[in-house]
Structure 1
Amino acid sequence: MRIIHVAPFYYPVIGGVEDVVKHIAEHMAGKGHEVYVVTYNRLRVGCIGSLPREETINGVRVIRLRPGITWSHGTYSPELPQVIKSLKPDIVHVHVWRHPHVFQVAKLKRQLRFKAILHGHMPFYPIFKVGPVTWGYYQLVDTFFNNTLKYYDEYIALIPLEKDIVINKLHVDGDKVAIIPNGIEYVPKTDVDKNQDQILYLGRISKDKNVSLLIKSMIYLKGKARLVLAGPDEGILRSLYQFAVRHNIRISYLGVVSDEEKYKLYLSSRIFAFPSKYDAMPVTLLEVASTGTPSVITGWGGQIYTAPPGRASLWAPPKPKEYAGAILSLITDEDFYKKLSSKAKEWAQYFLWRKILQIYEKLYEGLM
């Protein structure tokens, strides 16, 4: 098969979508298929034209188009149709709903005979996550341009919630929607001592991740636990530290950590805190579950599916006292903790990349 992935960004740009595209593309190339990634010659911020036009990365041929119009993470390139025509693909796997290339490929599909897959990547965010302007744009596209989706042979949803949205809001035929979650790598066994009072938060230190809920919850633990933060600070760390000092909260900040350090933190922590009210499919929750460390979550969205309460996590309302209560129960009830830890490990096994990639193989074969 000749397979083309069309994505907003690709390596060396790093992110959740980019990691998924890279895993699928390299896997199928390793199976002997001819695989291309068509993307844009830019980074997330600026640097237009700074990357090679074409190169081969781990058996995948990468073609970076000249951007015509750019905004935020969006790009339009008039080159795209001609490049796809010249490659004569069997399958075009398009990533991220609402980007211009979604509509360009749909138009080409009407002219050519390739099979088309749209991989939405759960782009359905509440207004408090993206702001009123972006949210308004989302509603406009979803309402007036959802007819485009009928030209795709398959829609890939990450979680059941996304499938429900595309069926009920975008009017996609349910038989054309497949749920394929993102994957995680196998975690090798490592001897790391667990700090029985350590709570870990690893992610962006930002307002939209609701880290302030976690800090305020620490008051109610009354010194029974210490908090470790890791990840990039997006301008709120100083105020969080000041709050912690005023309330005698034990806290430390490690900055951005490597993958090796990340897994050591997962293993050494008693509890992983995920205070975000809404996330699409936070793979971090699967990674930490694979180490046997349970999470405390809140809100709604992808975190409910990624770390099901009672199976990989405890859920609490987004209020400091209630959130602290869930944390405390995992600190004090050893039998319950061990059972949830074991269940979390078992749950994470379903999401290993070696299993997820087999699903993509079958999907592609079924379309041909």
Structure 2
Amino acid sequence: MKDKTNAPKGILHVTKAYFPKLGGVETVVRQLAEGASAEGHRVSVLCCGEQSAVEEINGVTIHRYQPFLNVGSAPLSFRFMLKLWQLMKQHDIIHFHVPNPVGELAFCLSPYKRRVKSLCTYHLDPVRPKSFVRVYKVLLHSFLKCLDVICPTSPNYVRSSDILQQHQKSCLPIPLGAEVSRFTEVSSSALAEAERAVESLKHPRVLFCGRFSYYKGLSYLLEAIAQVPDASLILVGRGEKEAELKEQAAALGLEGRMLFLDHLPDELYPAIYHTADLFVLPSAYRSEAFGIVSLEAMAAGLPLVTTELGTGTSFYNVDGETGFVVPPMDPDALAEAINKLLTDRELASQMGLAARKRVDDFDLSRMLRSYLDLYEELLSEATKGDFAGL
């Protein structure tokens, strides 16, 4: 057990949004905030919300401020900026979640930034809107220079990001994590209920879980499934592309071979992985910086097919060992990989076992411990320096 002498007195997470809003970044922030709170730390979150409010959720104090404008997916709020300055005087660790232009601008302008230790989880490069990205990158570089440590979610992302390439010496990759035990074993009752939900589909079954967004590449997955006539497809989630995907499925003649399932209850969600034979994350763009759903699939013992984006999707999935990594936006390559795993059950079993073994390195407890140790280290010594060696 580490000496807690240098444990932080207060940790402030600065992010665009927070629970109950659902999303990849929101999930990570909640895991870190509630995890640190459970360890006895005072934890706050500063974010934007539909209404300005202060509330407490599971021991974490949430400060929400209503934005006056949204640029793409970036909320802007002057009250958010002023509140950050106030909260910086009350916390000794400021943990940003990038990208978040309003938080980054406020920190760059703050007269208090040298009085605190600061770090960020670098979730992804800015990508949209393109007209805003060029200007935003200037701000982002200035912001990153102010931080003590930058934590990308995989070493792959450092190597492929033109932004992080300029800040390598401050980078310390900390992979995201999943609650492995929750997906490794599920109750017989949950499994039976999940099976009833998909019983209309025959095996072998291909599974996708996540948001139906532009960057997920789901249209390419549907094209690939059309080339594997024996396969069924389960899509779990919702999103702006749902209607378009249903039209495409009908046009491809996939009726009776696929199901759209809405977000599942927490008690049933882990079981859906155990009804499938293979998990596919067909993401088309670097907005898919990691993909925690793949870790959940690995915990359930499923082999993976992911795409090569220079992100976490080819970090946790080792091509030829835990599954296959294929080029993005290539339905033929997707179909070939899917077919190979569905027709060679011995290979699929070997890769599923390898995936189950590898995912232990990505357990949620490891991510949380890495950040808690980093907080302590930041307070115990001047650490702004060389974290290279990726």
TM-score normalised by the chain length of structure 1:
0.85
Per the alignment, residue 312 of structure 1 pairs with 322
User: Structure 1: which 5+ runs fail to align?
Assistant: 43-47
Of 189-198 and 305-314, more deviation after overlay is shown by 189-198
Aligned partners of 1:219 and 1:249 also within 8 Å: no
Per the alignment, residue 329 of structure 1 pairs with 340
Q: Which runs of 4+ in 1 moved over 6 A?
A: none
1:165 CA displacement: 5.0
Please give the secondary structure, in 2, of the residue aligned with 1:221: coil
User: Structure 2: which 5+ runs fail to align?
Assistant: 1-8, 196-201, 380-390
Does the C-alpha gap of structure 1 residues 109 and 345 become closer, same or farther in structure 2, counting only changes over 3 Å?
A: farther
Equivalent-residue separation in structure 2 for 1:267 and 1:240 (angstroms): 27
Please give the secondary structure, in 2, of the residue aligned with 1:156: strand
Count of paired positions: 350
Per the alignment, residue 269 of structure 2 pairs with 262
1:206 CA displacement: 4.7
Equivalent-residue separation in structure 1 for 2:139 and 2:44 (angstroms): 31
Of 105-114 and 19-28, more deviation after overlay is shown by 105-114
Once the two structures are superposed, the pairs formed by residues 1-368 of structure 1 within 5 Å of their partners are 1-42=9-50, 48-49=51-52, 53-80=53-80, 82-87=82-87, 88=89, 89-108=91-110, 112-125=114-127, 130=128, 134-143=129-138, 146-164=141-159, 169=163, 172-185=166-179, 186-187=181-182, 188-190=184-186, 191=188, 192=191, 196-222=203-229, 224-232=230-238, 234=241, 235-245=243-253, 250-278=257-285, 279-302=288-311, 303-317=313-327, 318-368=329-379
Aligned partners of 1:98 and 1:141 also within 8 Å: no
1:337 CA displacement: 1.3
Aligned partners of 2:317 and 2:325 also within 8 Å: no
1:196 CA displacement: 4.1
Equivalent-residue separation in structure 1 for 2:122 and 2:60 (angstroms): 22
Equivalent-residue separation in structure 1 for 2:56 and 2:343 (angstroms): 53
Equivalent-residue separation in structure 2 for 1:82 and 1:253 (angstroms): 44
Please give the secondary structure, in 1, of the residue aligned with 2:22: coil
Aligned partners of 1:5 and 1:37 also within 8 Å: yes
Larger relative contact order (Cα-Cα within 8 Å, sequence gap ≥ 6)? 2
Give the RMSD, CA atoms, in angstroms: 2.6
1:243 CA displacement: 2.2
1:360 CA displacement: 0.5
Equivalent-residue separation in structure 1 for 2:160 and 2:221 (angstroms): 30
Query: In structure 1, what residue type is equivalent to 2:218?
Result: V
Please give the secondary structure, in 1, of the residue aligned with 2:204: strand
Equivalent-residue separation in structure 2 for 1:7 and 1:144 (angstroms): 16
Of 262-271 and 320-329, more deviation after overlay is shown by 320-329
Percent of residue pairs bearing the same amino acid type: 26
Aligned partners of 2:125 and 2:163 also within 8 Å: no
Per the alignment, residue 198 of structure 2 pairs with none
Does the C-alpha gap of structure 1 residues 3 and 319 become closer, same or farther in structure 2, counting only changes over 3 Å?
A: closer
